[in-house]
Chains A and B, each alone.
Chain A
Amino acid sequence: MRDNSINSKMTTKGSRGGLSEDWLAVWVGLLIFLLSLGVLGGIDLLGWGVKTQVWTQLSKSLAPVSSSYARLPGIMALFATYFFLVGVASLVASALKVRLWAFVRAFTLVFWTSYLCWILGSFAFIAATPDKVKDFGISWSLNLTSEAGFIVALITGLVIGNFFPAFADWIKPAMRSEWYVKTAIVILGGFFGVSAIEQMGLAKAVIFRGLCAIVEAYLIYWALVYLVARKYFKFSREWAAPLASGISICGVSAAIATGAAIRARPVVPIMVSSLVVVFAVVELLTLPFVAQYFLYKEPLVAGAWMGLAVKTDGAAVASGAIADSLIRARALAVDGVRYQEGWVMGAATTVKVFIDIFIGVWAFILAAIWCTRIEGRRDGRMRSAEIWERFPKFVIGYMLTFLTVLMIGIFFPSLAAKTKEAMAEANVFRGIFFVMTFFTIGVASNFEKLRQEGIWRLAAVYLVCLFGFVIWIGLVISWIFFHGIMPPMAPA
């Protein structure tokens, strides 16, 4: 497995005892968030950040995000963004205690390849929505919005990961899709905070219903997958429990937490995780398009479904982002309805965040059952402190940015417009971390794994459970809790 995420998750610390990627996501996300808040005090610290625009002329594909920097050419904004992020990456490298130059070199390649994919995906024939096709002077478009760049990045990553192993090895130090997506999620908290200020009732409903959806998913999914793996595929308990968590809950994190909880040998969660990563990519490439076709009239059902059905944090939130764009584009094309951006992705992220929060709790429950009832040992191998150790720390960053923006909106309503502007600047960096997530997920998905002798017995359980009921029960649960809850309309 080329991805470092499994390695780093096998231990709670980063390389050689450095900070964990989880905490790094919190600090980097908060740094960007705090810098963006300079706008509230009249200091535009991140306005030079580059944003990608739909284009027919390449020179118009890039621009600085803030009008204060309108005179800065797009390409200079891109270089400024790169130098800022490479500085951040250097700090991350020293916190992770990895070799600085190797990390910076790899990060540079990941950044530029990912960004080029994003620019390519923003070409008007691919990205223009129906209401903008005429403005670009073209007669047709694939109507995929500029988030098509994420799919281009994923496919490019898949090609590199599977056909150019030397290049993939070169960028290995920066293959940190989990860090990228968690940093993006911390920044996303502030973005959702702005949406919540504008639609408080709806935001509360999405959060509570997301919580309900995952309670149901944990209780029903895990038990069913465990039953299938044990009874019909004759897996031992050591294999069936991490497999059930990997397939049913949240892929890599859950498989590893469960493996540790029942004291499975490291080989078990590693094999399960390898499979999870491969199948998550298949889901990421298919489910958002299925959702676009069948669920464009129920956008939040689609968002929650992505969170419940697609495994791994990166792929799930990425699916939410793609579904968000695709569904808004189709709703506009078919019904002329213009939904506000971000609510589909918000539903997916909310569900995923709750899933991550509960992994530690679920692992603790399993450890208690295994210790006391299955293996009959009462040596307290799973300490309650492990719930905290396994708690996804990036959730703290997400809650901090969300609540800070919410509090600003509630106690200083006159700052609401400025806060929105600030979050738009932070959101530029969220987009960049997202596109790097897509690219690195692609590179990490080594389909060669599927040729390994014996893997198909594991893959068969995965296929039967995932396509047999995990996806469909996820859809039913999402439908039950989110149907009829509609995102607000965007201003015309």
Chain B
Amino acid sequence: MPEEPRIAEELKTMEHEPLLPVEKKLIAWSIGAGVILLGVLIWLSDVFFAG
């Protein structure tokens, strides 16, 4: 186990990194896939796994 870090120092030395286009794309694709899949999964659940 590494020694207990001092979080204040860690955060102070953290450099600002602007959001890269690939990060924006990751966020957008992830949420987009979530929304689209929602419809598909609800349909599958209701048709094949109604309980």
Residues in A lying within 8 Å of B, measured CB to CB: 7, 10, 201-202, 204-206, 208-209, 212, 215-216, 219-220, 222-224, 226-227, 230-231, 234-237, 239, 266-267, 270-271, 369, 373-374, 452-455, 457-458, 480-481, 484-486
Contact = CB atoms under 8 A, between A and B. Distances in A.
B5 A480 contact: no
Nearest to B18: A230
A223 B27 CA distance: 5
Contacts of A271: 5, 7, 10
A218 to B, nearest CB: 8
A46 to B, nearest CB: 33
Q: Is the interface of A mostly helix, strand, loop or mixed?
A: helix
A453 B17 contact: no
Contact of B23 (A10, A205, A230): A230
Interface in B7-23: 7-12, 14-17, 19-20, 22-23
A485 B7 contact: no
A188 B25 CA distance: 40
A223 B31 contact: yes
Nearest to B42: A480
Which of B12, B22, B23 has most chain A Cβ within 10 Å? B23
Contact of A219 (B2, B15, B30): B30
A215 to B, nearest CB: 6
7 contacts: A212-B41, A223-B28, A230-B23, A236-B15, A270-B1, A454-B10, A484-B51
Contacts of B10: 267, 271, 454
B49 to A, nearest CB: 4
Contacts of B28: 223
Nearest to B17: A236
B2 A266 contact: yes
B27 to A, nearest CB: 4
Contacts of B17: 230, 236-237
A363 B14 CA distance: 23
Nearest to B21: A373
A236 B14 contact: yes
Interface residues of B, number: 36
A481 B34 contact: no
A267 B10 CA distance: 9
Interface of B: 1-2, 5-12, 14-17, 19-20, 22-23, 26-28, 30-31, 33-35, 37-38, 41-42, 44-45, 48-51
Contacts of A452: 7-8
B41 A215 contact: yes
Which of A201, A212, A266, A453 has most chain B Cβ within 10 Å? A212
A486 B50 CA distance: 11
Nearest to A486: B51
A220 B31 contact: yes
Contact of A208 (B11, B35, B37, B48): B48
A269 to B, nearest CB: 11
B35 to A, nearest CB: 8
Given A223-B27, A457-B11, 12 more contacts: A208-B45, A212-B41, A215-B37, A216-B37, A219-B34, A220-B30, A222-B30, A224-B31, A374-B23, A453-B6, A453-B7, A454-B7
A481 B2 CA distance: 42
B37 A219 contact: yes
Contacts of A230: 17, 19, 23
A205 B44 CA distance: 11
A219 B41 CA distance: 13
A235 B23 CA distance: 13
A227 B31 CA distance: 11
Contacts of A234: 16
A236 B13 CA distance: 10
A227 B25 CA distance: 11
Contacts of B51: 201-202, 205-206, 209, 484-486
